[in-house]
Amino acid sequence: MSTQFPQRHCFTVEAPDALQRLDRFLAARMAAMSRSRLQALIRQGHVVRAGATLGEASIRVNEGDIIELLVPAPEPDTPEGEAIALAIIHEDAELIVIDKPAGLVVHPAAGNRTGTLVNALIAHCGDSLSGIGGVRRPGIVHRLDKDTSGLLVVAKTDRAHQHLAAQFAAHGRDGALERSYLAICWGVPRPRTGSIDAPLARSARDRLKRAVAASGGRHALTHYGVLKSHVDLAALVRCRLETGRTHQIRVHMAHIGHPLLGDPLYGAGFRSRANRLPAPAQEALSALGRQALHANILGFVHPASGEPMHFESPPPADMRALMEALDLG
């Protein structure tokens, strides 16, 4: 395990370098680091100007700007196995389907080196996961946010990883993959069924957040349908992804004015609405302590047999309690 610490570099833009692209400006000052590595650090939110995160390599720097670059300490080469209980829905020689609880991080990263799904899978599967998809994310072909619960499939062989990765890359457009989520949002979307087609990029103001991009960004498409509503205060919504971007459902629902209940990143402005909920719902929302989002349906084609696989997971107890308190069950 590395004992190195993050390194902070600070540069002032002089007149000759004004209006350069950010990545080129940094490359001229960090000769030991490749431009592609610098671009990755920019995308990951490790570059700051005047307290604001710069998330695009093409941003132009101005004379007098002070540019800060934080180079994270190297991650450990290989995660270690840990005895963490898993809710296994299906397992065979090629893959394993997990019902992930809220609070479980999928793979090790800064701030979450241990206690992740990957650590649990290494302990459960042993050497069969070694190197599949990379040593730091063995077998992982998709992910769920830490505080989103629900179904995940993990590859146990190289063949399974390649086939599943191709299905997730197609995002169901070829009919192989199905992913459906249940969400409880503030208000009732109008129309009650629709699609949200809005590109996403890292927020320039907060490196932990994504945002709908005014220009550029990565294509993102979410289809939604209202299943049931509690007067005009909240609704149970089914969301189907046609792309798989970070925080996609959470950002898209907030973008149309209906953020998810309990979402600390994208629904903070709606917290006062909790006072309008019935007392049992207020208690259930407080107990939930996370975004009301659950991956309840997962379907794919088995990489070895070619047979369609379909799995369903009911909402966990915390989200089900909120649904019942709002009569959304």
Positions annotated as catalytic residues are: 145
Q: What is the sign, positive or negative, of the torsion defined by CA atoms of 54, 56, 57, 58?
A: negative
CA distances from 323 to 189, 192, 265, 313 (A): 17, 18, 21, 15
Rounded CA separation 44/208 (Å):
9
